Amino acid sequence: MFPSSKRSQFWTFFLCFFAAAALLCTGLLLYRTGLRGESVTAVFYAAMLFLALCYFSANDTRAYFCLIVLISAFCLVYISTGDIFSVVDEAAHYYNIHYILASGHLPNMNIDPAYYEAVQPPVYYWVCSLLCLPISDKLTRIFLLRGFSFLLWWGCVYLTLCVLRLLEREQVISIRPARDLALLLLFWATPGTLVRFSTVSNEALAVLFSTAALFFMINFLFYHSSFRSLILSVLFISLSCLTKITALFLLAPLLCILLSLRKGKLFFPCLAAVLLALIPWFCYNWYLYGAFTGTAQHLSYVLPLVNPSAAPVRLLPGLMSFLSSYFYPTEAAANGWILLLLRSSGFLAFLALLALSFPTFLYGIRLLKGRFEESKEGRRSVIFLFAALAVAGNLTVLIFGTLTSRVDVLLGRYFYHSALPLTLLCALGQEKLSQKLSSFLRAGICSFVAVLQVNVLQQFFLAFLSR
């Protein structure tokens, strides 16, 4: 499947040079023509094309270096040239931070309904306020906060690679550079993910905390003689919930790990610790809004904007298409054949998740009966169930929110908490495939991303010609 060593090196340098030149030209065109805002997402897809090309040099570790350099360079292009507040909810998050800097305390919707994101937990806003404390210029603050979000992306990718290396060390999976690149490309380096991690959003910090929590859970599975990893996982679950309350689903994979180690009784003190961390925020909301959260006030402002007729959201079409928004950012315009491709790929991914439900149920029955053994296959089953529960928990929270609020929250940007579990599911799945099928799957991933790249470049040049 792969070329020889010398040919691999030749193609590596040739494709690196070609991709770098194309990306440089794209960046210069963006700068000289003044195309900003959503059009700048074109550079992300150019970076994605390079990652697809790196597939052919899969045995060359320089592909990782080129991946990091190019994604970093062009996320910085977006951070510095993208229109201010052109991304969904960026303005609302920034003005929460601005209010804290000006007044010294959190905003709330009783002050002004325009602070509709003030009902979110406070950790992200306090951290960003401390970062911006010595800076008074608005633009500098926004660029700093965007850069901070991208640093959080680095942390998520690093933790994912640490998990893959840990599982390789424990002989749960076998590491292949081509697979690493393909999985990082699909789940952490999609244009939608990069847009979200290059803007002012509490989602970035919440995803980092949840990824760290999942990492320490897996670490505790293999090194359970020390409770340090368990304590850290509970700490990061608490921090993630105090950044975005929907992260409570992380308790499900934690329970899976504890049951597999026959330490299920430890779940109750872990749950108590998380709830204890949330009590001050619940009390604060009760004082302001008369409820544990400010969701009702939030919906009173948002619902007339996104669903004026308050019609029930149709769940089935949302489930079939929501994964497509994971790959493609809301801020970019998808239409025609590319929209069909995205929806069909999202639908196939949804069917794949349903197909995993039956073996996951069987693994769960074995787990509850305490039949897991300290073996390679037993640990692989625990990791599989762990990842499946994390994905199912995240999806359940989104479905519940959609049904109870009549606002469609089945959006890809709320599913980035599952990037690490999805990576694990794919890595475990490829272990069961033959080498040819596994290579075919990786080629399909890279081709899918290349198609997205072609579509966005088409949009970019059409915008360029219309000026």
- pLDDT of res. 375: 66
Q: In the chain, what are the domain boundaries?
A: 84-432
Structure confidence at residue 39 (pLDDT): 47
Q: Which of 88, 58, 4 is nearest to 325 (CA)?
A: 88
pLDDT at 3: 39
pLDDT along the chain (467 residues), means of 10: 47 54 54 48 52 50 62 70 79 93 88 85 95 90 92 91 87 69 74 82 95 96 87 96 94 91 91 96 91 86 78 72 72 64 68 64 61 67 86 87 78 87 82 65 64 57 54
Structure tokens at 231: 């304590």
> How much is the pLDDT for 456?
55
**Do the Cβ atoms of 430 and 25 come closer than 8 Å?**
no
Phi/psi at 5 (nearest 5 deg)? -60, -50
Rounded CA separation 220/183 (Å): 24
Are 44 and 78 in contact by the 8 Å Cβ rule? The answer is yes
- Which tokens belong to 400? 């519940």
Give residue 87's pLDDT: 80
Question: What is the reported pTM?
Answer: 0.84
